[in-house]
Structure 1
């Protein structure tokens, strides 16, 4: 079995009135190449006539964002012309590439009526050869994502990206990402090549990972020594699983930009100020 290197507690990092826990980076883990950043917003209940999500227009370059809507909804708008409203169970994948401006807010209906909200956003690095690729966005509702039933229906896996027993994920990517929904007592065994980095983040519930207890709001970092990982739910749980071959490239991150050198970061700011990231017309 692949051994656990460390279990990291997510830290409280509220944004305005939005309950937020940051799982990557913290004082114990900076990143797990190519996984750079993971924020867990909620769970919390928003009253009627609320302000919704606070993420107004802002730029990105050199990375991708993957957003998982557990409860509530999210409105995506960007300077490349993409726009969507993704609801609970859906996922949105945005490749910032050479640069764009986007906003992530709540729908008018959610702001008027309120409701439960829980959203995760994961940042993925792009390799140097793809840093300046054209921006791309894709948002899918839950019924547009393939789901596999495991362990006699006690485990459901959402195939977000990568490959699962020959079944391609919903999004084209160079990483594997899955969300597992466990009923109590559900079990699953996973295979990951030794050269791949793997992380687990427990969104809800409580799991045994290779016989070690992991509770909600904790991230598991693994050593690169084995190829099998056993997971057993102690309670109804949700797990985010990421697996990828590391890029092993320099990482220079500053605010919303992730590049390979300080000079490239400075150029990103210059390009943004010059208007190369597009116009915000919403």
Structure 2
């Protein structure tokens, strides 16, 4: 079996009245190249007449965001003219590239009526050759994300990006990153074989699983070593897992605020270009 280096508990880092848990980056785990950041918002219940998600207009350059809506909704708008509202089961994939401004907030309906909310956002690095690519955004509902049903009713796999046993995911990405969300019912099992040179992101969103004979509860991330071997997963309770893997870029990472580049000079250029309006204009 593939060796486990360490199991990391997500830190509680609330943002305004939004409950947020962050396993990456965390103490002893600054990044999992090319996975930069993972924020787990909720689960929580918002009352009627709430302010919703607090992520108003802000810029990005040099990276990508993938947003998984487990419960509730999220409304995206950006300076490239894209707008969409995604509800439970849907996914948003944004390539910031050379730069854009976007907002991620709750819909007017959610702010008026309230309800359950649980959302994950993953930041992906871009290699130097794609840092200044054109920005892109796609938001897909649950119905447009392929699902593979596991044998004997043990669970299902939502194919977000990359291939799963030869079947492509919903999103075509500029890099070789593979992303899935996996639901396992109690006692459900899954055996994963991932290339030894790939970095693995394995995070338990809900439930509790045994991974290579080690128990992993909710809000914990498993850090694997680079070695041959399978990953044997068995659910101790109904569980939801975020799985990602990719070959690491092995490039310098300089991150400041919303910008992720390769050098300090490129960061300063990003701030300058943003001030000069090169990320597009924002219209309410």
Same fold, judged at TM 0.5 (above): yes
2:84 corresponding residue in structure 1:
84
Aligned partner of residue 269 in structure 2, secondary structure:
helix
1:151–1:186 contact (8 Å) kept in structure 2? no
Determine which of 213, 216, 227 is the counterpart of 2:215: 213
Alignment of 1:101 with 2:113, yes or no, is no
2:75 corresponding residue in structure 1:
75
Could you tell me the TM-score, scaled by structure 2's length?
A: 0.98
1:275 corresponding residue in structure 2:
277
1:151 corresponding residue in structure 2:
151
1:185 corresponding residue in structure 2:
187
Alignment of 1:166 with 2:169, yes or no, is no
The C-alpha deviation readout for 1:219-260, integer Å capped at 9, x for no partner, is 000001123111100000000001000000000000000000
1:53–1:106 contact (8 Å) kept in structure 2? yes
Aligned partner of residue 5 in structure 2, secondary structure:
strand
The C-alpha deviation readout for 1:70-112, integer Å capped at 9, x for no partner, is 0000000000000000000000000000000000000011001
1:7–1:220 contact (8 Å) kept in structure 2? yes
Q: Provide the C-alpha distance between the structure 1 equivalents of 2:158 and 2:34, rounded to a whole number of angstroms.
A: 21
User: Shift of residue 139 of structure 1?
Assistant: 0.4
User: Shift of residue 199 of structure 1?
Assistant: 1.8
4+ residue stretches of structure 1 with deviation over 2 A? none
1:145–1:170 contact (8 Å) kept in structure 2? yes
Aligned partner of residue 279 in structure 2, secondary structure:
coil
The C-alpha deviation readout for 1:153-189, integer Å capped at 9, x for no partner, is 2111000000011100000122000100111111111
Q: Provide the C-alpha distance between the structure 1 equivalents of 2:243 and 2:128, rounded to a whole number of angstroms.
A: 24
Q: Provide the C-alpha distance between the structure 2 equivalents of 1:231 and 1:27, rounded to a whole number of angstroms.
A: 25
Could you tell me the TM-score, scaled by structure 1's length?
A: 0.99
1:201–1:220 contact (8 Å) kept in structure 2? yes
User: Shift of residue 151 of structure 1?
Assistant: 3.0
1:200 corresponding residue in structure 2:
202
Paired positions, count? 282
User: Shift of residue 152 of structure 1?
Assistant: 1.3
User: Shift of residue 14 of structure 1?
Assistant: 0.2
1:151–1:187 contact (8 Å) kept in structure 2? no
User: Shift of residue 191 of structure 1?
Assistant: 1.0
The C-alpha deviation readout for 1:186-210, integer Å capped at 9, x for no partner, is 1111111111111210000000001
Unaligned runs of 5+ in 1: none
- Greater displacement, 203-212 / 225-234: 225-234
1:161–1:171 contact (8 Å) kept in structure 2? yes
1:155–1:188 contact (8 Å) kept in structure 2? no
Q: Provide the C-alpha distance between the structure 1 equivalents of 2:148 and 2:229, rounded to a whole number of angstroms.
A: 21
Aligned partner of residue 33 in structure 1, secondary structure:
coil
User: Shift of residue 28 of structure 1?
Assistant: 2.0
- Greater displacement, 224-233 / 17-26: 224-233
Aligned partner of residue 171 in structure 2, secondary structure:
coil
Aligned partner of residue 224 in structure 1, secondary structure:
coil
Alignment of 1:48 with 2:48, yes or no, is yes
User: Shift of residue 124 of structure 1?
Assistant: 0.2
2:65 corresponding residue in structure 1:
65
1:55–1:103 contact (8 Å) kept in structure 2? yes
Unaligned runs of 5+ in 2: none
Q: Provide the C-alpha distance between the structure 2 equivalents of 1:156 and 1:144, rounded to a whole number of angstroms.
A: 15
